A and B are shown apart, each in its own frame.
Chain A
């Protein structure tokens, strides 16, 4: 029996047969599997899969012939990339100076308590994930949080439970 892998010329796709990998292969082929295209390929993968799982990263490293550690280093360098699935909606708690001095930390803690997730995690129903951000440009409303384009301001820790029961219900 002959087992032939002419790795640089024959393209073998991911064994799962997941169509998203075929699409990723197209991107990789577009960049001729050049290692210098790593960022573009990672970007495409995140668009396809929503996040960069170890499986996806290992696949990309193999295709671009890059060391795992190097790929991981790049992924963790850019805030744009995420290693864990993000919720459908991302709750961004502002931690810019204005919000910070008005108790952003307490808002974050209260939200975390209410949603049952820590910063960086995603709710079980995959709806929300909790993050913090630098100034989101709503200092007048500090402390502020943003969900997509929606900004909620002048929060206090005590308003958080009501916010979760009412405002968050709009997101499905």
Chain B
């Protein structure tokens, strides 16, 4: 049967067109006919377990699940009849009687719950079966989300999502029959799981209150929130975010289903680190006075900076920016560069060569979804680019793609690898093995990161490309470079100097005025103090200006602290690893007296 072949069938007396291979549910949906579902979910394999979607097929005494039954040309289907209604109602009553579905005290109550929604649709006003209510445990050990087995309807949406989207398969169903329970690994908890990446995709997939985000719980109904689409500020992949807000607060962050690469999926950083981490916000300018930081007005803070700058020669003044800033902030910094000796962006070691004028990439989604081999060179997708790691896992686990990991740190991906080597040797025997693994590969993808930019990394890359050149068949590998900083590419393009080693950059010449533009960076403030410049800074500087959204050890040492907007408050763009310009949109109003990074830079150097 040809997959593009059109078929015709009748649903509720209406003639409907579909494609061969589609399920009854897909054809009905495409023809605006509603069939209730619970366990079905878009882009997941059908399960056919909940039996909400049952339909009648003329000539067959049995009802069939529409989500798991192929549409047959010429068939006559009924999606609503008194019989179907009664069967569905009974199914719902059984689900309600099985565990604790006392809605008033469930975080999903009033409109967010798939089960409750179906109960309303089917007029379930009483339950004819005895309630079982087994006392089941609750797992709240995870940092961001919990699992209340008492609300679980065993629809396996979480299991299939974890397996098929994040590609991990942390979850499964244990035991049998009435003792069925969702299990994490081998009866672990989320807090102790060896495999869970905390991507939260299972929580987003759960139709009931069983899996719930702790930070969202009891903050009101999601479906009455304002939703704004913006770009994830946490890494250079730049996934699309759908941010849910109420009363100017972020209530939940999901992936944007329309975002081309992520298609609704996010990693832990985008899904939770953006909003569900406790951080102390800076909302007003502060000035050190008698050794203590005191709140002051913007005018006072700016006047103080101006006084010190007037007394400090330009050649002793530098500005260092976080790689998270927007392109617009980068351009603003570049415009005032003549008022400073140097303006730099703080990159990771060896990141410079990766972000200086990279070729724009095209077709990355297709490459990642069709690859039959992934080669990782000096890159840590599980840690730095979660979404990319999920593509690798999916490829290996669903399409049996080959996986070769060279010069990367240990990660969960090693488990799936054909070859995983910490430090590659350039011996011939080794490359013969690599060639053997890649022999039948047609569509390879080479993901490389900062450690591919070292002299050794470059030598390995050359050997690798030589392997491909000698192959009898197959395409040359698609080369995908993955920087670490969210907007390292955009900021270097805006004219900021790439600084990999801050210590020697600062040591190169005496510095008396230092302006650190952290923006909403929540790691640099800590990282600074892990390294060796601490003493230098505090001893020799006349003025340390820290422009930041969050308190950190660095702001605690500053002479002047300037409050900056977070990703959720600013307008601007970032440039992702493909070279695409992605928009940041304000999701909530600016907190306190915070200002946009570009505006602050303009005001300081006006």
Which chain A residues have a beta carbon within 8 Å of chain B's beta carbons? Answer: 1-8, 54, 57-58, 62, 65, 67-73, 76-77
Contacts and interface: CB of A to CB of B under 8 A. Distances in A.
20 contacts: A4-B430, A5-B420, A6-B419, A7-B418, A7-B420, A54-B186, A57-B186, A58-B186, A67-B168, A67-B195, A68-B185, A68-B186, A68-B194, A69-B171, A69-B172, A69-B184, A69-B185, A69-B195, A76-B175, A76-B176
A77 B176 CA distance: 5
Contacts of B418: 6-8
B553 to A, nearest CB: 36
B175 A77 contact: yes
Contacts of A65: 415-416
Contacts of B170: 67, 69
B174 interface: yes
Nearest to A4: B421
A132 to B, nearest CB: 14
A67 B173 CA distance: 12
B425 A2 contact: yes
A68 B196 CA distance: 11
A2 B421 contact: yes
A5 B414 contact: yes
B165 to A, nearest CB: 14
Contact of B169 (A1, A6, A54, A70): A70
A14 B406 CA distance: 25
B183, B185, B414, B437 interface centre (most CB from chain A within 10 Å): B185
B414 A6 contact: no
B540 interface: no
The 8 closest A-B pairs by CB, nearest first: A67-B169, A69-B172, A73-B172, A72-B186, A68-B185, A76-B174, A2-B425, A76-B175
Contacts of B425: 2
B163 interface: yes
Nearest to A66: B169
Given A58-B186, A72-B187, A5 B419 contact: yes
A1 B424 CA distance: 9
A69 B194 CA distance: 11
A164 to B, nearest CB: 29
A5, A65, A73 interface centre (most CB from chain B within 10 Å): A73
B423 interface: yes
A72 B183 contact: yes
B433 interface: yes
Interface in B376-429: 414-425
Given A1-B423, A77-B176, A7 B417 contact: yes
A67 B415 CA distance: 10
Contacts of B416: 65
Interface string B428-440: 0010010001000
B430 A62 contact: no
B129 to A, nearest CB: 22
B194 A4 contact: no
A28 B186 CA distance: 21
A119 to B, nearest CB: 14
Contacts of B168: 67
A76 B179 CA distance: 10
Contacts, number: 73
A72 B174 contact: yes
A86 B425 CA distance: 49
- From DSSP, what is the main secondary structure of chain A's interface residues? helix
Measured as residues with beta carbon below 8 angstroms from the partner, the interface class of chain B is: 20 to 34
A2 B186 contact: no
B572 to A, nearest CB: 41
Contacts of A3: 421-423
Contacts of B422: 2-3
B433 A6 contact: yes
Interface in B166-205: 168-176, 183-187, 194-195
Nearest to A74: B172
A68 B194 CA distance: 9
Nearest to B423: A2
Interface in B553-584: none
B395 to A, nearest CB: 14
Contacts of B184: 69
Contacts of A62: 415
B135 to A, nearest CB: 17
B169 to A, nearest CB: 3
Contacts of B194: 68
Contacts of A71: 186
B199 to A, nearest CB: 15
A7 B413 CA distance: 12
A29 B184 CA distance: 28
Contacts of B187: 72
Contacts of A54: 186
Contact of A69 (B169, B415, B420, B421): B169
Nearest to B405: A5
B13 to A, nearest CB: 43
A11 to B, nearest CB: 14
A2 B185 CA distance: 31
A69 B423 contact: no
Nearest to B162: A69
A8 B186 CA distance: 24
B134 to A, nearest CB: 16
A58 B414 CA distance: 15
Contacts of B195: 67-69
A77 B183 CA distance: 12
Nearest to B414: A5
Contact of A67 (B163, B176, B437): B163
B584 to A, nearest CB: 37
Nearest to B181: A76
B426 to A, nearest CB: 10
A1 to B, nearest CB: 7
Contacts of A5: 414, 417, 419-421
Contact of A73 (B183, B414, B417, B421): B183
A146 to B, nearest CB: 23
B415 A72 contact: no
A9 to B, nearest CB: 8
A109 B173 CA distance: 30
Interface in B138-157: none
A6 B424 CA distance: 13
A72 B172 contact: yes
Contacts of A77: 174-176
Interface in B432-488: 433, 437
A69 B174 CA distance: 8
Given A2-B425, A7-B415, 18 more contacts: A2-B422, A3-B422, A4-B419, A4-B430, A6-B418, A62-B415, A65-B415, A68-B195, A69-B169, A69-B170, A69-B171, A69-B183, A70-B172, A71-B186, A72-B172, A72-B185, A76-B183, A77-B174
A54 B163 CA distance: 21
